[in-house]
Structure 1
């Protein structure tokens, strides 16, 4: 069972630190920040804008209420009361030691202290620490609010318990903690990246390829395979039916061929630096950094959605994260106390730009998504939670009728008003009314739901607490006027078109 984190502190709010802040904050954790940079609030605010945009596109579950963000002038104020502290200051060991000393002087005794360092080992970070056992490496990847991997590194077997605690907490935020077996410079992922980086520098220096051509070789080629299978599984497939052993036997001799200059690194002269910068400007200079970040985020979201649909790799992490978000939304709905004699307002949504069709209006399937999420919110309200489903019981939608009444545009804030039209031992009949911020009805939906035994695959009577909560709602809901269109089928159209059937 993952631990719920109520308060975190982030020391440093740059590219990585800002991503950590967003990751924690959007998961509902209060975040206290210390960063002496004069533009820290603006930079973190821009990162949060991108993170909120990405989170809304990534997860279909209702958003978790954000945690509270606070800025502090000193480290002591930021770490006070924090259960988890993430250090993301520049890669200077003396600076990190100074920061850890200030953290330890003010942090609660049981607080975990993770470092975002990409290269230093925990044993180096712990030099001079008062309580070295609680300092460890928690190395993420940019953008931290989307990429799930975090490398957790301690100094030996004695650190297993603290790494387990950290993994438990970070998994709850939708991350994939990878515990490194033994400390080593640059951990695992950056050592692999460094190998590709060194080879790439030689290819540019020797005029074999430009920065764009190297990036194209990755993004149109092996990068696509690596994104969902990694290195060894990719090569296992390359070995055909004979598998990995055949691949190694076939390509093993190439290890002695002059294909790499891993330890022979080109000197980073001013000429080479300028060459790389000029090629990079030609490749991507037409976009601002914020535009590139949004392009990157959108591409990552698409890949993650595909992996989720296939139940593979990082998609499994996303699915678990989304299921937790739905469970939290259902729990909030179950504890809500709306007026039972009025339509229930249990779900809200905002129309993003990617929800639009070629006419510039909300596309058809998004209406069904909003109404489906509203149905889930209602089911959560009456007690259909994970514990109820664990009994092998659930509620399925068996019929839906949607009316599109307005042209819903980008940015519209939508509220769904839900009315219980009726229920019996096995069925629930709902009516949803989707309204915008001005109260204009955009669409309506009528759903017939069936209670099922998921193991037997057939309908069955509902149990507690659904029956009790539906009965409690019934007096107030039954007093509401039924919509005049409820239960009305689409009018028959004859053939030829326009003639009575």
Structure 2
């Protein structure tokens, strides 16, 4: 089992622990805070609730979490060591000296620092080339971005190793080519933060009004397109050059106070804190975290459907998890074709729930449709085949809702081919949560020519694969409920 060591179990350290743990790593934590286990436990509760909802395949079995009283015990055998101690340079350097006395020289020793450059962290280190900045964003278990900042002392192969390990847990490692204070993303946040402070201080806007201007406007655009692509689109057909020519001169206008910072007086702090309390004080921090997590999952799931931005990162990670879990994608991967084929294994995400708090009926159909799509892929009706002009259309569907399932439940769908002849395929799906049967789906699909939009015979390859599966499964007992009509008594 791969081991990650977490040094410092605050909000960021706890998020790192959740990211690794829910991706199947064993996680060891060192934090002298007597409440560390409770705090990380609360972060993990939120992560277990939300993180599986990002994936359309079940995450690996959760690793083992342990807490240790010494750094030497914590880092023993770890391939990734994440330091998230308070932002004091002398403390970090002292921690690195201890860690490097006991850790594997080949392990990645990464810092979550948002402010220090890697060259500062590497000073006085026994092996400076082992230390790199890996700056994440909160919540670490959901946000894919992590800024990887090396120096010339880091061997290129070590940087590649760090990026590959981060990618393996579903993150997007952004290689910062030149170290700079606050790296890249936080410099933008700092600029917006400075301007916001002035707007509040000068009475132009309240904290709530500023937040609304972001989440109702450019924040949504930035989430899916970033800064430069947003402005490229704003330039219309003429593109970025037109935008720069039109709006570039505005940079010389005295619109902002980005080079000036209001004095942090007690009056300004009280003003901002009071407005913030009025804005969100009716909710606890844990409630706000859950709302944040639900919104992030829902937005990133929308981006997954377009294979865009962070959604593309999640899709790539799903494919990796699915492959490692042994999910079948071709007939030659079927171990025993006489048994139902597992076509879906995934957790129920937050956007699949209804007002009753369980999975809404339309999502049962989506889950069964996903299972059918996987079966089509297995027998040869994949995207390449569809591009040649053949596909399957669903002609009839019958779903029985037998039991309910809730947020985070891992559902598994097993699929049988009851009949496949000429132009028609008869499919049977059963959805389980553990040993509990949740629903069955019975579907008739017709193979069609996409050119004529009319029924057409299977291709020889698809006919051969379907015949192999249906013949192998013909010895199974007829599924309970197959051929039922709606409302028929059991």
Q: TM-score range by the shorter chain?
A: 0.7 to 0.9
Quick one: structure 1 residues 318 and 39, their matched pair in 2 at CA, closer, same or farther if it must change by over 3 Å? same
1:357 positional shift: 3.4
CA deviations 1:164-211 (Å, max 9, x no partner) are: 221121112221111111111111111111111111112222222211
1:297 positional shift: 1.4
Q: How far, CA to CA, are the matches of 1:96 and 1:401 in structure 2? A: 61
1:442 positional shift: 3.8
Aligned to 1:134: 130
Tell me if 1:185 matches 2:187. no
Aligned to 1:497: none
Quick one: structure 1 residues 239 and 342, their matched pair in 2 at CA, closer, same or farther if it must change by over 3 Å? closer
Quick one: structure 1 residues 205 and 434, their matched pair in 2 at CA, closer, same or farther if it must change by over 3 Å? same
Deviates more, 1:423-432 or 1:150-159: 423-432
Quick one: structure 1 residues 276 and 123, their matched pair in 2 at CA, closer, same or farther if it must change by over 3 Å? same
Secondary structure class of the residue paired with 1:330: coil
Aligned with 1:114 (options 110, 115, 124): 110
Q: How far, CA to CA, are the matches of 1:340 and 1:458 in structure 2? A: 23
Aligned to 2:255: 259
Aligned to 2:361: 364
Query: Is the 8 Å Cα contact of residues 420 and 466 (structure 2) preserved in structure 1?
Result: no
Quick one: structure 1 residues 384 and 259, their matched pair in 2 at CA, closer, same or farther if it must change by over 3 Å? same
Quick one: structure 1 residues 66 and 435, their matched pair in 2 at CA, closer, same or farther if it must change by over 3 Å? closer
CA deviations 1:44-81 (Å, max 9, x no partner) are: 11111211221232222123222222221111111111
Paired residues, what number? 477
Tell me if 1:291 matches 2:325. no
Quick one: structure 1 residues 360 and 17, their matched pair in 2 at CA, closer, same or farther if it must change by over 3 Å? closer
Tell me if 1:213 matches 2:209. yes
Quick one: structure 1 residues 159 and 447, their matched pair in 2 at CA, closer, same or farther if it must change by over 3 Å? farther
Q: How far, CA to CA, are the matches of 1:451 and 1:98 in structure 2? A: 68
Quick one: structure 1 residues 449 and 259, their matched pair in 2 at CA, closer, same or farther if it must change by over 3 Å? same
Aligned to 1:154: 150
Query: Is the 8 Å Cα contact of residues 80 and 107 (structure 1) preserved in structure 2?
Result: yes
Q: How far, CA to CA, are the matches of 2:361 and 2:120 in structure 1? A: 56
CA deviations 1:400-442 (Å, max 9, x no partner) are: 6333243625367756455553568998754233356784664
1:105 positional shift: 0.8
The Cα RMSD (Å) is 3.9
Quick one: structure 1 residues 313 and 479, their matched pair in 2 at CA, closer, same or farther if it must change by over 3 Å? closer
Deviates more, 1:415-424 or 1:312-321: 415-424
| TM-score (normalizing by structure 2) | 0.84
Aligned to 1:498: none
Tell me if 1:196 matches 2:195. no
Aligned to 1:52: 48
Quick one: structure 1 residues 420 and 137, their matched pair in 2 at CA, closer, same or farther if it must change by over 3 Å? same
What are the within-5 Å matches in structure 2 for residues 260-279 of structure 1?
A: 260-279=256-275
Q: How far, CA to CA, are the matches of 2:413 and 2:293 in structure 1? A: 29
1:43 positional shift: 1.4
Unaligned runs of 5+ in 2: 450-455
Quick one: structure 1 residues 351 and 184, their matched pair in 2 at CA, closer, same or farther if it must change by over 3 Å? closer
Quick one: structure 1 residues 192 and 392, their matched pair in 2 at CA, closer, same or farther if it must change by over 3 Å? same
Quick one: structure 1 residues 48 and 396, their matched pair in 2 at CA, closer, same or farther if it must change by over 3 Å? farther
Aligned to 1:37: 33
What are the within-5 Å matches in structure 2 for residues 13-412 of structure 1?
A: 13-156=9-152, 159-331=155-327, 354-358=351-355, 362-372=359-369, 398-399=393-394, 401-406=397-402, 408=404, 410=406
1:346 positional shift: 7.5
Query: Is the 8 Å Cα contact of residues 137 and 152 (structure 1) preserved in structure 2?
Result: yes
1:107 positional shift: 0.8
Q: How far, CA to CA, are the matches of 1:449 and 1:135 in structure 2? A: 58
Query: Is the 8 Å Cα contact of residues 435 and 441 (structure 1) preserved in structure 2?
Result: yes
Secondary structure class of the residue paired with 2:16: helix
Aligned to 2:453: none
1:15 positional shift: 1.2
CA deviations 1:216-236 (Å, max 9, x no partner) are: 121112212221222222222
Q: How far, CA to CA, are the matches of 2:485 and 2:139 in structure 1? A: 48
Quick one: structure 1 residues 58 and 440, their matched pair in 2 at CA, closer, same or farther if it must change by over 3 Å? closer
CA deviations 1:243-292 (Å, max 9, x no partner) are: 32232233333333222222321221222212211111111111111111
Query: Is the 8 Å Cα contact of residues 393 and 451 (structure 1) preserved in structure 2?
Result: no
Secondary structure class of the residue paired with 2:66: strand
Aligned to 2:430: 433
Query: Is the 8 Å Cα contact of residues 426 and 462 (structure 1) preserved in structure 2?
Result: no
Deviates more, 1:254-263 or 1:133-142: 254-263
CA deviations 1:376-409 (Å, max 9, x no partner) are: 78799xx889xx9799799976546333243625
Unaligned runs of 5+ in 1: 492-501
Quick one: structure 1 residues 291 and 486, their matched pair in 2 at CA, closer, same or farther if it must change by over 3 Å? same
Aligned to 2:440: 443
Query: Is the 8 Å Cα contact of residues 347 and 410 (structure 2) preserved in structure 1?
Result: yes
Q: How far, CA to CA, are the matches of 2:53 and 2:247 in structure 1? A: 42
Aligned to 1:499: none
Q: How far, CA to CA, are the matches of 1:310 and 1:344 in structure 2? A: 28
